[in-house]
């Protein structure tokens, strides 16, 4: 099982900004991903469980709060099965107990761009209630120079930084309030 510290910044954007960026950036790749979000009968407060399908691969991810960031635990599975035996050691370690319930789902068209400071994802996500648009930046480290490079990229594309306050999982469960 792989684990890493998630150093991520999320910015909600408009549909027109999404289309502008999509038409002006040369992305390394664009692909679809499908997510199922789960809830366990017992799990750490603030944690989340997800199985993501990209092409024919299934990636389980559990995110657990760790200070200002989240610790991500990831494991490739043979199928979309939250009861996969490969997950038992992690669930035992973090005191996760089933049964598990599917909370929601989403489908994301994701475009990927690598910059010196990390990876930028430009997402168009479809939920049961509709769709939205977001930029995610996964930084290589926590230094200010890394963050400034991402903010410079946003300014170049005329995107005002507005922190995304809800994860895709939370947005899958609840349609965001209109501003």
| Domain annotation covers residue 30 | yes
Q: How do residues 88-128 score in pLDDT, each as one tens digit?
A: 999 999 999 999 999 999 999 999 999 999 999 999 999 99
| Domain annotation covers residue 178 | no
| Domain annotation covers residue 155 | yes
| Domain annotation covers residue 179 | no
Burial class (CB in 10 A: 0-12, 13-18, 19+), 135: buried
| Domain annotation covers residue 123 | yes
Number of domains making up the chain:
1
Global model pTM greater than 0.85: yes
| Domain annotation covers residue 23 | yes
What's the domain range around 13? Answer: 2-173
Helix, strand or coil for residue 17?
helix
Cis (ω within 30 of 0) for the bond into 99? yes
One DSSP character per residue, 102-147 reads EEEEEEEEEEEEEETTEEEEEEEEEETTEEEEEEEEEESS--HHHH
CATH no. for residue 138? 2.40.320.10
H or E stretch covering 150: helix 144-156
Q: Measured on CA atoms in the order 87, 101, 170, 132, is the torsion positive or negative? A: positive
| Domain annotation covers residue 107 | yes
| Domain annotation covers residue 115 | yes
Q: How do residues 27-86 score in pLDDT, each as one tens digit?
A: 999 999 999 999 999 999 999 999 999 999 999 999 999 888 899 999 999 999 999 999
Q: How do residues 127-156 score in pLDDT, each as one tens digit?
A: 999 999 999 999 988 777 888 899 999 999
Residue 168 neighbours by CB distance under 10 Å: 22
Q: What is the largest CA-CA distance in the chain?
A: 47
């Amino acid at each position: 099982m792989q684990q890493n510290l998630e150093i991520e910044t999320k910015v909600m954007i408009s549909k027109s900004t999404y289309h502008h960026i999509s038409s002006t950036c040369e992305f390394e790749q664009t692909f679809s991903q499908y997510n199922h979000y789960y809830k366990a009968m017992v799990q750490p407060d603030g944690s989340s469980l997800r199985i993501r399908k990209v092409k024919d691969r299934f990636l389980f991810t559990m995110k657990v709060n760790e200070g200002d960031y989240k610790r991500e635990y990831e494991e490739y599975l043979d199928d979309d099965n939250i009861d996969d035996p490969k997950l038992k050691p992690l669930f035992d370690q973090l005191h996760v107990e089933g049964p598990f319930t599917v909370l929601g789902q989403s489908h994301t068209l994701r475009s990927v761009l690598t910059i010196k400071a990390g990876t930028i994802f430009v997402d168009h996500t479809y939920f049961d209630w509709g769709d939205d648009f977001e930029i995610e930046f996964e930084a290589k480290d926590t230094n200010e120079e890394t963050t400034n490079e991402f903010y410079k990229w946003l300014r170049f594309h005329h995107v005002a930084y507005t922190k995304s306050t809800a994860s895709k999982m939370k947005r899958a469960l609840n349609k965001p309030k209109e501003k």
